[in-house]
Amino acid sequence: MRVEWTSYNSPIGPLTVVECEAGPLVVEFPTRALSVKWAVRLRAAVPELHIGQGTCPQTTGWLDEYFAGSPRPFPYPEHLRRWFDLSPAQVAVFKTLRKIPLGETRSYDDVARATGLHPRQIGWLVSANHLAILIPCHRVVGKDGGLVGYGGGLTRKRWLLDHELRAAGVVLR
């Protein structure tokens, strides 16, 4: 079994990308990628795993389209269950995040209502997302609409939200 990884140069800085044959496994900012310990987690799932540097064409292609302002729909990656020990709550939250349209936001309370979980659980589960941008945790905001918490930092979160508004045709002033 083989997965590949690459460093992707994005407008918001480098991203660590890891991909298996079925699709993306990790899209993360380098400092968070170290703390996620993705290689250890993947080898725990598949001990005979070979991890090599590559191009990660599915994921980098999607990211290219996203940053160009015309992302194609990204379905929830069901293959993650094979690689990571995801709880039913994580899956529910990640699937809910996938439903937030490009250029829109939802509060932690909104996500909590949609999943039947407590808002504090939502914060913890959102922060456990290791597919930055693809599972759009940057679209989750505070109850008052303010920017709160993002593994890549609030400056990057603001940039991503502004980028999505521009892609959706909203004029920013």
Strands 23-28 and 50-53: unpaired
Residue 32 banded pLDDT, cuts 50, 70, 90: low
Residue 11: its pLDDT value, please?
Answer: 96
Q: What is the tens place of the pLDDT at every residue in 34-85?
A: 655 777 777 777 778 888 899 999 999 999 999 999 888 888 899 988 888 8
pTM reported for the whole predicted model = 0.88
Residue 172 banded pLDDT, cuts 50, 70, 90: low
Long-range contacts of 28-36 (CB under 8 A, 24+ apart): 28/130, 28/131, 28/132, 28/151, 29/132, 29/151, 29/152, 29/156, 32/130, 32/132, 32/151, 32/152, 36/130
Choosing from 137, 140, 141, 160, the catalytic residue is 137
Instruction: Let me know if 20 is a catalytic residue.
Output: no
Residue 106: its pLDDT value, please?
Answer: 95
Residue 173: its pLDDT value, please?
Answer: 60
Q: Looking at the domain 87-167, which fold is it?
A: Arc Repressor Mutant, subunit A (1.10.10)
The domain limits of the chain are 2-67, 87-167
Q: What length is written for the chain?
A: 173
